[in-house]
Structure 1
Amino acid sequence: MVVIALGAVAIDFALRSLLVDQAKAQIAQTADQIALVAREASSFGFSEDAAPVLIRLSDRATLDRWASANEYIQIDTAQGQILGKSSNLGGVAFAPVTPGGDRQYTMMRVGGVRPTTMLVLDRVLTDAEGRALAVAHVGERLDIVDELTGRARAILLAVTIAAMIMIAGASYFVAQSATDPIERLTAAVAEIGSERLDRRLRWQRRDEVGRLAAAFDAMLDRLQSAFARERQFISDASHELRTPLTVINANAQMLQRWGDRDPQVLRTSLEAIADESGRLAAMVSGMLTLAKAESGDAIPKEPLVVERIVDDVVLHAREPAHVKGLRLEARHPVAAQTVVVGDAGLLRQLITNLVDNAIKFTESGEVAVAVRRDDGHAIVEVADTGPGIDDAAADRLFDRFFRGDPAHARNIEGTGLGLAIVRSIARVHGGTVSASRRPEGGSVFSVSLPAEPESFTPAQ
């Protein structure tokens, strides 16, 4: 609307300038004719006496021939005295000018019955030798210019107002069509709470609002899944924490009643409380590690040699493996250096959890940890000779608190968080983890992490 208004003002200004320029050209043509006649007349022996030339130029009949209904002429002497005027000037006179003060075009306000503005050109008339003879004033009323510009201004005003009304109406409908879906989307979003995450917009629109609604539905899917996982986590944690807390509470009550009278009750209760509190501590530590692994952005990372971490984990796990009569080996070349960028503590925890898990579920044979490079990735494989993985439980192995066969899991210590921590640590390092059954028996857990180029060394 502002542009249209400015355009209308510019058109009005340009039209008036054009009409005024035409008027200037018209009176300049008349002034040139008068100057030409004065120069020719002075060349016929009147150079010494300008009186005959001035008498001829100031003759009213001559001036009336140059004048018209809208054009006025006045001739003055070089000293500014009026010699003659065209009949249509009446009692109006142009202001005198001296030959040295040629003002060119000026505007003069004219009163009377038809008051208006007059455009005046002051032209000094000279003889053939360039001496000043007189001053000619040629004026033209601007009534027609004012009338034409007034009509054009009225048309422009009407067109501008109509265009602004159309723009305002179109803008209203465009804004309404754009904001109405957003308002409905806002109302629908406001109705969705933590207890109504199953609601979806499902708008079938192909515009930006439709894409926004689709993105919102996708966000709700992720939120619903996250809430479901958190509810499941709380339920599983409550279930896992209930048993050790019950045992601790029962033994504490036994200590209160009979601890000071029965040494056997005292010893048994204290051992049970120590075992269950240790299990609780391990579970809380696992939850904290899991939370740290899932935070992702807060983890400092640095170049690490995977083989060195594996050697360190195998060294510390040999004692529990030896107690069970298992052989634990790290299988990779001594000089191998596969570099990944990550957190040393978390990666050590990842490999430790896999090795501990393999030792727990393997009764005889061996546990082998291998490191290799494959297509820009560092692959860490922990293989055992245990009972293998149940195909039905393979998809849930890395869920929190999942313990596999409950009847078999009760005989094995653990919190059910080890493999969930492995998956979270792998994810935060941009990697993946998988598990499969070995054809020769047992299972193999494989972790894939992005590796640096082979030319990249720890020193670099």
Structure 2
Amino acid sequence: MKFPFNDKKKNRKKKKRFSLKWKWTIGATLAIFLTISVFSIVIFVGFRQIMFTQEEENFREVLFGASKRLVDENKLTDSDSTALSKATVYSAFNPSYSPDTMRSTEEYDQRNTTFEDAGNYQDTLYAKMNEEDVIVKVYTPTSRLLFESKLGDFSFKGSSEPVIKRIEVNGEEGYYGVMPVISDETNQIIGYVQVIDGMTEYHNMIDVTIISLVAMNFAALISSGIIGYLLASNFLKPIKTITNTMNDLRQDTQSTSRIEVTEGNDELDHLSMVFNDMLDKMQKYIEQQKQFVEDVSHELRTPVAVMEGHLKLLDRWGKKDPAILDESLSASLQEITRMKSLVQEMLDLSRAEQVEIHYKNEKTAIKAVIQQTYNNFSMIHPDFIFNLDDDIYDDIYVAIYRNHLEQILVILLDNAVKYSNERKEVHISVSTDDREVQIAIQDFGEGMTQEDTEKIFNRFYRIDKARSRYKGGNGLGLAIAKELLNGYNGNITVESVLNHGTIFRISLPIYREES
């Protein structure tokens, strides 16, 4: 029987993965390319508009300039004021012209009434009229052609008002214009000027610009692809490192592989630091769980073995012997009580290892807790002298849960009482600075060697196992105190001299709202 879910799962596995690097590369390439393309289009449109405006201005200058030049020349030559003549037109458009230079009208006609002597042009009007794509024609009021600067087959229609429009010239856009030539003396139309501008320079420039922009965009596409790939590779390098680290952890949960954090101080570096911190905590919790199981198994083995031995003894022959029965029951109950105490301390230790998760931002008034604990021990142990040197104010708070602070103080004071000898005296001192509160608890009892002070905070460590068990200790109290203080960013140290006593010093950060 086939399951659709399994088929879908197989299909997902078979589906080829599209790398995030290539997604980013394509995305970055398209973004850069589209940006450059948009700017290119904007630049092209703006440049085209400027060139077109310039061409239109040049066209108008030729059209209106030629008309004005004809009016002025007609006035100077005192010609017939009713119509332009060839001599007037030729004189207006050729500064080097004189009647003697033209041998006959037939010679003028044989030249097809064209004008090509650009070398004699002495101002911009002549230069613009002689451009390759500009044709200037002059007509009489009766539409008879008097002059054309270049050959060109274009229709003509006179108009009493200036006419400017766009037409097709040699398959491309151009300008067409007709301007009446009006005499200043008679205010009558004495001729017409026709100008056709093919805008060859404009079209050549536009073609060159388009080719240049296309080449630039193609180069931008290639370069943006390279840049996008390099950027994607650089940005995804930490993610690849994270993936490799996760694969290492998947293969070995105890792997010490970590992400290398650079000095970039950006979001990816922050992610790497958070990920490393998470891995450290996970590994710490795994090790704690493993240690917890090992410790419980080791410590419970003895009481279980003792109970098993007594029960076997009772099963064999102790059922009817009151003395053996009482002894076995008493020993079994004692071991059960010890196991209950051990299990409770192990639970306390397990909770102490997780204070960062469950007891963040807790605060406690230190003075009240110290005073209450001092009073309780003074009442419980009337045969001891407890000296309290309190040098703090009521409004000082420490960053710790109240019950945990009490638990730490009880563990330390209980040990001070347990391991005191003839001098039954305990000193408690409390002081503070700008950052921390320091608490010192001193007894004058058995003391420890230097080797013992280095191991005293280890789980189940006892200086004298037989004596510690007799006094009711499991070797977990100081381990619990240390774990609690570590969870609240505190610290605990010990100073001891064998047979002279011990001093435990703890420090806790002062609670501040901004923290």
Structure-2-length-normalised TM-score: 0.68
Instruction: From 358, 361, 367, give the equivalent of 1:307.
Output: 367
**Secondary structure at 1:288's aligned position in 2?**
helix
2:423 is aligned to 365
2:105 is aligned to none
Alpha-carbon deviations, 1:66-94, whole Å to 9, x = none? 7544213466899xx95658544644236
Instruction: From 76, 81, 84, give the equivalent of 1:52.
Output: 81
- Displacement, 1:120? 3.3
Q: Does 1:395 align with 2:454?
A: yes
Alpha-carbon deviations, 1:189-225, whole Å to 9, x = none? 4134474645658989998999899968898777666
Residues 18-167 of structure 1: pairs in structure 2 closer than 5 A:
18-37=50-69, 40=72, 52=81, 54-55=83-84, 67-68=129-130, 69-73=132-136, 84=145, 87=148, 88=150, 90-93=152-155, 99=161, 106-110=165-169, 114-121=170-177, 128=184, 133=189, 136-167=193-224
Q: Does the CA contact (< 8 Å) of 1:430 and 1:449 recur in 2?
A: yes
**Secondary structure at 2:475's aligned position in 1?**
coil
Q: Percent identity?
A: 20
Partner amino acid, structure 2, of 1:311: Q
Change (3 A) 1:168 1:330: same
Change (3 A) 1:373 1:319: closer
**Secondary structure at 2:415's aligned position in 1?**
helix
Deviates more, 1:1-10 or 1:176-185: 176-185
Partner amino acid, structure 1, of 2:34: V
Change (3 A) 1:160 1:33: same
Residues 422-433 of structure 1: pairs in structure 2 closer than 5 A:
422-433=481-492
Q: Does 1:382 align with 2:441?
A: yes
Change (3 A) 1:8 1:421: same
Find the aligned partners of 2:331 and 2:144 in 1 and give their Cα distance. 136
**Secondary structure at 2:470's aligned position in 1?**
coil
Deviates more, 1:176-185 or 1:368-377: 176-185
Q: Does the CA contact (< 8 Å) of 2:242 and 2:259 recur in 1?
A: no
Q: Does 1:350 align with 2:405?
A: no
Q: Does 1:417 align with 2:476?
A: yes
**Secondary structure at 2:375's aligned position in 1?**
helix
Residues 185-334 of structure 1: pairs in structure 2 closer than 5 A:
186-187=243-244, 189-193=246-250, 195=252, 197=254, 200=257, 227-251=286-310, 261-293=320-352, 294-299=354-359, 303-318=363-378, 321-322=381-382, 326-332=383-389
Find the aligned partners of 1:92 and 1:310 in 2 and give their Cα distance. 112
Find the aligned partners of 1:16 and 1:131 in 2 and give their Cα distance. 40
Find the aligned partners of 2:73 and 2:249 in 1 and give their Cα distance. 101
2:506 is aligned to 447
Change (3 A) 1:25 1:213: closer
Partner amino acid, structure 1, of 2:460: F
Partner amino acid, structure 2, of 1:115: G
Q: Does the CA contact (< 8 Å) of 1:433 and 1:445 recur in 2?
A: yes
Structure 2, gaps ≥5 residues long: 1-32, 94-113, 116-125
- Displacement, 1:388? 0.8
- Displacement, 1:37? 3.3
Q: Does the CA contact (< 8 Å) of 1:306 and 1:339 recur in 2?
A: yes
**Secondary structure at 2:428's aligned position in 1?**
strand
Change (3 A) 1:296 1:186: closer
Deviates more, 1:399-408 or 1:200-209: 200-209
Find the aligned partners of 1:304 and 1:206 in 2 and give their Cα distance. 38
Find the aligned partners of 1:60 and 1:201 in 2 and give their Cα distance. 93
- Displacement, 1:346? 1.1
2:463 is aligned to 404
Change (3 A) 1:73 1:346: same
Find the aligned partners of 1:335 and 1:17 in 2 and give their Cα distance. 82
Q: Does the CA contact (< 8 Å) of 1:373 and 1:379 recur in 2?
A: yes
Change (3 A) 1:336 1:107: closer
Partner amino acid, structure 1, of 2:155: A
Find the aligned partners of 1:89 and 1:220 in 2 and give their Cα distance. 88
Q: Does the CA contact (< 8 Å) of 2:81 and 2:186 recur in 1?
A: no
Find the aligned partners of 1:127 and 1:256 in 2 and give their Cα distance. 147
Alpha-carbon deviations, 1:202-261, whole Å to 9, x = none? 989998999899968898777666655543333222211222333344455666677864
Deviates more, 1:205-214 or 1:125-134: 205-214
Find the aligned partners of 2:333 and 2:159 in 1 and give their Cα distance. 121
Find the aligned partners of 2:366 and 2:479 in 1 and give their Cα distance. 21
Change (3 A) 1:93 1:394: farther
Change (3 A) 1:138 1:282: farther
- Displacement, 1:158? 3.3
Q: Does the CA contact (< 8 Å) of 2:492 and 2:505 recur in 1?
A: yes
Partner amino acid, structure 1, of 2:172: T
Partner amino acid, structure 1, of 2:468: A
- Displacement, 1:356? 1.1
Find the aligned partners of 1:367 and 1:151 in 2 and give their Cα distance. 102
Find the aligned partners of 1:10 and 1:55 in 2 and give their Cα distance. 48
Partner amino acid, structure 2, of 1:426: L
- Displacement, 1:406? 3.0
- The number of residue pairs the alignment matches comes to 440
**Secondary structure at 1:161's aligned position in 2?**
helix
Change (3 A) 1:410 1:131: farther
Find the aligned partners of 2:390 and 2:65 in 1 and give their Cα distance. 111
Partner amino acid, structure 2, of 1:93: S
Find the aligned partners of 2:287 and 2:40 in 1 and give their Cα distance. 64
Find the aligned partners of 1:247 and 1:95 in 2 and give their Cα distance. 130
